[in-house]
Amino acid sequence: RQTLGRITIPLMLPVIAVNVIWAVISSLKQMETIYLTTNGGPGNASQFLANYLYIKAFDAYEFAYGNAVSVLFVAVCLITTVVLNKCFKKEYY
């Protein structure tokens, strides 16, 4: 009925928002799974930001470049959080 759309889901939106933000940021930080299974994959096919950061900073000993990539990584996480908060922002009474 209408109770789901007008009462239940609007009351659950803050919880849904927090879970979506955690899921997105956790997916950005999934370094260990890729590193343990494929180490970036054949030809860097499964490499992404966290894995790239680790390889540049600790395997290639490019610490300054790794630091710059980590600042970019934090900026991406913050921008993602702000955008998702704007999407889920709603006045509660």
84 part of a folded domain: yes
Q: How far apart are the first and last CA of the chain?
A: 23
Largest CA distance in the chain: 60
13 part of a folded domain: yes
62 part of a folded domain: yes
Domain that residue 56 falls in = 2-88
Length of the chain: 93
Q: Looking at residues 7-36, what average pLDDT do you find?
A: 84
Helical spans, DSSP H, in the chain: 2-3, 9-28, 31-37, 49-54, 63-88
pTM above 0.75, yes or no: no
93 part of a folded domain: no
46 part of a folded domain: yes
What span, in angstroms and rounded, lies between the C-alpha atoms of 25 and 78? 9
Q: How many domains does the chain have?
A: 1
Instruction: Return the pLDDT at 53.
Output: 86
53 part of a folded domain: yes
Q: For residue 93, what pLDDT band results from cuts at 50, 70 and 90? A: very low
pLDDT at 92 over 60: no
What span, in angstroms and rounded, lies between the C-alpha atoms of 31 and 77? 15
